[in-house]
Amino acid sequence: MKRYLLLCAVVVIAFLTACGNKSGAGSAAASSAAGGGDANAVDLVVGANYYFESKDDDGNIVYKYGNWLQPGDTVRVMPGEVKVVKVLNAKDAQTEDMIGPARIVSSERNEKDVNKDVYVSSYYIVPGQRAGAITAANGATVFNGLDPTNVTGKILPRRTIVAVAPIDNNENPLGRQRFIAYNVPQPDDSLLKAGSWSPFYINPGDVSTSVNDVKMAQEITKMEKKPKEQWGTIAAELERAYGDSIFLADAKAMIGQAGGLAARATEVIKGKATVSGDNVAVYTEPDEKAGSIIGNLTDGTKVNVIGQTVDSYAFGDDFARWFKIKSGELEGWVFGSSLSVE
């Protein structure tokens, strides 16, 4: 028994010594990524590659690309060494990455690998991180330390999605929030690269971890890529989904900049209707100015009603709601004065 206990002690000491001998970026990430249990569930809000360990034909250990963990996917960081190794990327070409053991807890994109043990790129992982969105009107000032003078001159623009880590108030009297982000464009055309191996901080009042704020920030980014004539409808839908978000004002400001297009709130309904009138126009949006005509319906046509505007609007001399209809392959908005809704 004594010999057994002595052997266990030697193994533990050897393990602790090995951990203590790590240095540089690998050491910083190891202290962040090593661990286990629920406390180490990590939301990969900025994404990461993951790999599977296997052996090649010569019996050598290789790490082959599994897939990409997208923002919002979750892993549990497992005990073990974080190391910089050669890995095989998606094209089976060798590249270098710093990886650590983890278990995929949830992944919308990679359901087949949930609960599997993998090796995750550790550059952007800090235990306990959560999704955040920058709320500062003119962008958040970036600090590279916890002293008042540690100002970098870099900024995080409003609505930038970041990962934020818990604040340790014992070592952080200013309460600065550590964050992680991928490449963030700067006014001088440079890129801010902020990962776990190089700590950066922001003032906590400049970031929100509200789910609605994060979702709204992401959706507005998608909205910016859509045609401007669709912004009114999109913003109305976002208001219904995330109406208490601080970024609702951003969406409405965008609509104003696009030419004063009115955001018209809509809701989903189910019903039937009959067209009354010849060549009744079907629009892309519930707004004759913001939308464009995509088809026409003849008098007496039966259609399915799948949505309506919350409010009524003027169109010519009439005042009514707009209704979203579907007739065969045609789907769009018809002004209510041209429909008899059942």
16-20, 91-95, 129-133: range with lowest mean pLDDT:
16-20
- Tokens 């991928």 sit on residue: 182
Q: Are 144 and 201 in contact (CB under 8 A)?
A: yes
Instruction: Indicate the DSSP class of residue 276.
Output: -
pLDDT for the residue numbered 257: 64
Mean pLDDT for the stretch of residues 154-173: 85
**163 has pLDDT over 60:** yes
pLDDT for the residue numbered 26: 34
Per-residue pLDDT reduced to its tens digit, 182-227? 889 998 889 998 888 888 999 999 999 999 999 999 899 988 888 8
Listed as own residue / partner, the contacts of 14-22 with beta carbons closer than 8 Å and 24 or more positions apart are 18/81, 22/82
Torsion angle, CA of 286/288/290/292, rounded to 10 degrees? Answer: 100
Q: Are 227 and 208 in contact (CB under 8 A)?
A: no
Per-residue pLDDT reduced to its tens digit, 232-284? 778 888 888 898 999 988 887 777 666 555 567 888 999 999 999 889 999 98
Task: Show the 3-state SS of 195-225.
Answer: CCCCCEEECHHHEECCHHHHHHHHHHHHHHC
Sign of torsion, CA 139 142 146 147?
Answer: negative
Mean pLDDT of the chain: 82
Per-residue pLDDT reduced to its tens digit, 279-331? 999 998 888 877 788 999 999 999 999 999 888 888 887 888 999 999 998 99
Per-residue pLDDT reduced to its tens digit, 53-85? 999 899 999 999 999 998 778 898 888 889 999
Burial 88-114 (b: 16+ CB within 10 A, else e): beeeeeeeebbbbbbbbeebeebeebe
